[in-house]
Structure 1
Amino acid sequence: MQHCEAFKCLSYEALSATCATGHYQDSGWKWWSTETVAIVTGANKGIGFAIVKRLAEVGLTVVLTARDAVRGLNAVQSLKSEGLNNVHFFCLDVSDPNSIQAFATRFQHTFGVVDILINNAAVSFNDIHENSVEEAETVIKTNFYGPKMLTEALLPMFRRSATATRILNISSRLGLLNKLKNPKLKEMLLDEEHLSEKQIEGMVNLFLENVKSGTWKSQGWPQVWTDYAVSKLALNAYSRVLAKRYKGCGISVNCFCPGFTQTSMTGGKGAYTAEAVAEVGARVALLPAEELTTGKFYIETCNTDWIVSAYTEMAGFNALAPKTKNFVVAGGLSAFVFGVYFYTMRAVGGSDELQVAIDKFEDQKRQTEPEATLAPKA
């Protein structure tokens, strides 16, 4: 067992104060500047909008995208009315290849380089307790192919800095492999050495074929929000492939699961507000260079009051920092960072050990802090 050292715990208010006074940069936390450009997709409302606001508040130049021009412009105007003039609106429909190409061309002409890409845009057509797959093709096109096509269109524009260039894909625990009951697909996704984009695309095509033939219920696909879960399963797998491909080449690729959040997608239900989730997501996107990871899957916790500025590889169940209970480290999981715990993308394709660890953690959380509201297990 290794021990984690050099923790710096700052409250949200303290972080904001240090940013405002300029001490943030002096402390070594602030590696970015107004010349650092971030793109956040699907950001006219909800989690995306809240992430844009948080990044703009700490001084980045942020491109807010939305497929609806009026809503996108209104979102940017609302931020500018708060003094956030470093936010820009670009129209983008990630499900449309032509829109992606037009966006990439305009972005290149306007900014030239991108430092942070947050693929947030996603759709689901199910209510909380529904599981229709009538819109499966649109869900797959938006949630998987959208981030994939946009990332590939922007790759030539990434600054390729080992300290600053990041791709953060907003994902879901619904895309964990323990939701998949098809042994052949599990085996394929677990094969770290040979997993390819072609195989991932083959998997989603198989799912869509099963949907068209009406056989999807008996083929071992996830049983909750099936089309959405498959889209996130594919996004997680693609993130692993991309992280491996560009490891050591100046681009980090990670996923972040915001949890059950109060947005239009959940009908306003959820354990977390978009603002609370965005604070954690922004922290992950802005990890200090010495802590920047790749190929990791970050999961929310209920406590976002503390920022841990250092992490270490650990094994077993361990408490890492005083006053910070909301994390678990087990098996393929690695240390607690910025209010979330994360594990390697390999663990995304692991057995039910991860879910057991999460369940144990949440049970412990209920016992120690019964007043806290936890997201339902998805």
Structure 2
Amino acid sequence: MSGELSTRCEVKLKNQTRSAKLGAKSDQEEVHCQKKGGLYGAHQILYAVVTGANKGIGFEVCRQLASNGIFVLLTARDEKRGLEAIQKLKDFGISDDLLGFHQLDVVDPHSVASLAEFVKIQYGKLDILVNNAGIGGIVYNPDNFRRGVELCGDWPDGKEISWNEMASQSFDLAEQCLETNYYGAKRVVKALTPVLQASDSATVVNVSAALGVLQNIPNEWAKRLLSDAENHLSEERVDEVGKQFLMDFRDDLLETKGWPLQVSAYIVAKACINAYTRILAKTHPSFRVNAISPGFCKTDITNNLGPLTAAQGAEYVVRLALLPKDGPSGCFFNMTKELPSF
């Protein structure tokens, strides 16, 4: 399936976007979801969970989903910052009735289990999960990185200024990056699968990056394992790629083994989550599961540089979150464009 989200899905979204408005509780807690060709029918309130949502793209996703009348459970590792984000959303005019908060550290199994139990008890289902929590796995040299962006006019390619001058990476950072961006996202999905299954319109959006496409990984073994979607792609194989990468990083074998040499852990982690997206879509055909690169946005993970604002990047994420039931699944979108190979 190829094409552009803007031409293929956005037209549908104009008439088919799932909208929800809070009404009375219990049996009266219903809305009508407008679909092309008529009413989709009486439907309970739509509930969304967004991870890593106290700032940046995650925060903007919460704001835009709530603006569509969807109840949003904002999650953040730091409770104080999360509650401050909730207040900021209220200051933007978002109704208190559409907002909730729960602490979540995606690398902590107990924290993830606590969130899953909370959603089960409080809402009984989950309609939308946006896996946004992530870290860069590098430490920027701010001045050099800014110069690199200015000279390139986009994400630096390392030609004008080498990546070694723009940022540094370490095994500890790489390990944290894989644990958060891939294993953490997978941990959240697994914990929330029962409440997603309780929804008749479950959607999972994994916020990824264009850097994670397989063409950025020279290692042919890893590329083969992560791209074999029709035959042998499995969670175990994706995990194997992540583990081998970390072992090679620890042993200073990145170049020898053909791994990316710059922003290494981030690229591999995003490639793994892209592969996991395909696995999840195949395992749960009733879900809509997609990965998306929101573009080069001004957020902490990009040292607050880039041509797009967090709000603009969040728009692409929200479009996928609001796909109708017959929308695409198991795909990767670079902003609006679906990539046939990733």
TM norm. shorter chain > 0.5: yes
Distance 1:141 1:218, change over 3 A: same
Match of 1:168 in 2: 205
**CA offset at residue 36 of structure 1?**
0.5
Q: Relative contact order (C-alpha < 8 Å, sep 6+): which is higher?
A: 2
Match of 1:66 in 2: 76
Q: State the TM-score, normalizing by the size of structure 2.
A: 0.79
Q: Give yes or no for contact 2:20–2:70 (8 Å, CA) kept in 1.
A: no
Structure 1 Cα separation of the partners of residues 43 and 60 of structure 2? 20
Match of 1:133 in 2: 170
Distance 1:59 1:254, change over 3 A: same
Paired-residue identity, % = 34
**CA offset at residue 176 of structure 1?**
0.7
| 2:83 matches 1:83 | no
Q: Give yes or no for contact 1:168–1:254 (8 Å, CA) kept in 2.
A: yes
Match of 1:235 in 2: 273
Q: Give yes or no for contact 1:175–1:230 (8 Å, CA) kept in 2.
A: yes
| 2:189 matches 1:158 | no
Gaps of 5+ in 2: 22-30, 146-165
Match of 1:55 in 2: 65
Counterpart residue identity of residue 117, structure 2: T
Q: Give yes or no for contact 2:212–2:270 (8 Å, CA) kept in 1.
A: yes
**CA offset at residue 189 of structure 1?**
2.0
Structure 2 Cα separation of the partners of residues 3 and 71 of structure 1? 39
Structure 2 Cα separation of the partners of residues 178 and 84 of structure 1? 44
Among 107, 110, 117, the alignment partner of 1:98 is 110
Structure 2 Cα separation of the partners of residues 209 and 8 of structure 1? 42
Match of 1:294 in 2: 329
The structure with the largest helix share of the pair is: 2
Distance 1:113 1:206, change over 3 A: same
Match of 1:285 in 2: 321
SS in 1 for 2:167: coil
**CA offset at residue 79 of structure 1?**
1.3
Q: State the TM-score, normalizing by the size of structure 1.
A: 0.72
The structure with the largest strand share of the pair is: 2
Q: Give yes or no for contact 2:282–2:330 (8 Å, CA) kept in 1.
A: yes
Tell me which moved more, 44-53 or 129-138: 129-138
1:66-104 CA distance string (max 9 Å, x none): 000000001011112323220111000001111111111
Tell me which moved more, 123-132 or 103-112: 123-132
Q: Give yes or no for contact 1:239–1:255 (8 Å, CA) kept in 2.
A: yes
Q: Give yes or no for contact 1:255–1:296 (8 Å, CA) kept in 2.
A: yes
User: RMSD across aligned C-alpha pairs, in angstroms?
Assistant: 3.2
**CA offset at residue 195 of structure 1?**
1.1
**CA offset at residue 7 of structure 1?**
9.1
SS in 2 for 1:25: strand
Q: Give yes or no for contact 2:20–2:45 (8 Å, CA) kept in 1.
A: no
Structure 2 Cα separation of the partners of residues 3 and 205 of structure 1? 34
Distance 1:189 1:30, change over 3 A: farther
| 2:46 matches 1:36 | yes
| 2:221 matches 1:184 | yes
Distance 1:179 1:6, change over 3 A: closer
Distance 1:24 1:131, change over 3 A: same
Distance 1:138 1:6, change over 3 A: closer
Q: Give yes or no for contact 1:29–1:288 (8 Å, CA) kept in 2.
A: no
Counterpart residue identity of residue 68, structure 1: D
Number of equivalences: 299
Tell me which moved more, 80-89 or 206-215: 80-89
| 2:264 matches 1:253 | no
Distance 1:15 1:239, change over 3 A: closer
Structure 1 Cα separation of the partners of residues 245 and 39 of structure 2? 44
Match of 2:236 in 1: 198
Structure 1 Cα separation of the partners of residues 75 and 334 of structure 2? 24
Q: Give yes or no for contact 2:3–2:337 (8 Å, CA) kept in 1.
A: no
Distance 1:101 1:219, change over 3 A: same
| 2:252 matches 1:214 | yes
Counterpart residue identity of residue 64, structure 1: L
Match of 1:330 in 2: none
Structure 2 Cα separation of the partners of residues 221 and 280 of structure 1? 29
Q: Give yes or no for contact 1:263–1:269 (8 Å, CA) kept in 2.
A: yes
Counterpart residue identity of residue 214, structure 1: D
Q: Give yes or no for contact 1:34–1:61 (8 Å, CA) kept in 2.
A: no
Gaps of 5+ in 1: 301-339, 349-378
Match of 1:311 in 2: none
